[in-house]
Structure 1
């Protein structure tokens, strides 16, 4: 039982880190109706920005973190403004394919600049393991979970109670009505992408603090995709629950059945859920009238 509890806590901690990137998926989709397949690469490049400012340029981790997050938000704004806004009104499949292309460009750019080898980030998270009785949780993973939880909580407060969050919620409900009420839709789009840039960079930095960063870090977004599909594309709160569940399930399956099972069982569960509930466990069903 103690071993099961230990694996469960490790899984929940891993899932907590997924939550941040999954929130970036949802906030962009809710505000713009764009499914951003470049999320993983934004996550990876935001981490490299932190590495650049902190380690390569020597600004220190506090300044490097601020500059890295700001650069990630600026990158997201550029993607929305330069590559996606000119395509407003085009079929959604075109926008989806553009985000695929953006992801490939970002991954190639990172490979050219930093190469394929693992780069280690500075020791920003305590390494000392945490003991809960007989249960051991790796220190970096535990503190990464705490950090991710604080960021997610701050985001939820901002989204729920700020005027900007209200504008995003209004836009996600009905863009035409929101614009008729004086909401600047284009500004909401930029804000949603900027928030997505911040969230993905934070998720990437926490993940890379444990494992290091390579151009392949963006592949973590495949796990995040499972979280988003399980929760439903429109549920902020559902993403948190689904992220914790997917992280827990991956760890438990890997511990008891092996890595081969771990690589597909979570996606099998998501597939079954999608067959039964196409809008996810917490997503809202949208009816479009023509």
Structure 2
């Protein structure tokens, strides 16, 4: 295996962690994260546990709120607003996707933008799209860009294809890459000739949530592939969207799943939490 091609997130995450521990230890009160989850989806549980563990490792605190999948939108919005209004909470991480009967828009409009660490509130979405530095982008979006820059990958003038058009990740990532003067294409389920459009990319980012979606036919030689897919099978094994072994020989760099963007994402989340706590305590 050509290990020099594997772009791991651990070195960047370690740099961020060292800085955060120093800053958090200087605060009178530890920043407090609230994780909020509906139901028992394995991938949400895994992400929640990892986030709580990492916050504590960074010298911060975290508490988890779990609601049954049967909860109504009205009841959940009421409970969620109480969490958002709690002065002891500095930042909130909301596990998604929701059960189908829950109205995302009603929930997203409830969160305090100052505590919205993952860029879901309408105010933060608008700030990200208008390049307003006060807004929080989704931690995973910032992690992707930071990891590319840390690895010395040039963004200016490069063709970047994003597979996935969600408002919080795909579209928000496009806005952040445009800030770095990349030329961005977004592909989705209705894209015609998606394999050709992916092959045109110098940098290919996949966030579709579909195992082995990206095969060698989708990747041009010496492309950089950032895999942020998160798929959990019945045995609990985690994989990304890319056929890692099938495209490794063809790429310049590729992030593994797990071990790639995920660790950096959690570090960025902690960075957002520290920033939120400092802003609220001025």
Normalization by structure 1: what TM-score?
A: 0.25
Higher relative contact order (CA 8 A, sep 6+): 1
Normalization by structure 2: what TM-score?
A: 0.25
Higher strand residue share: 2
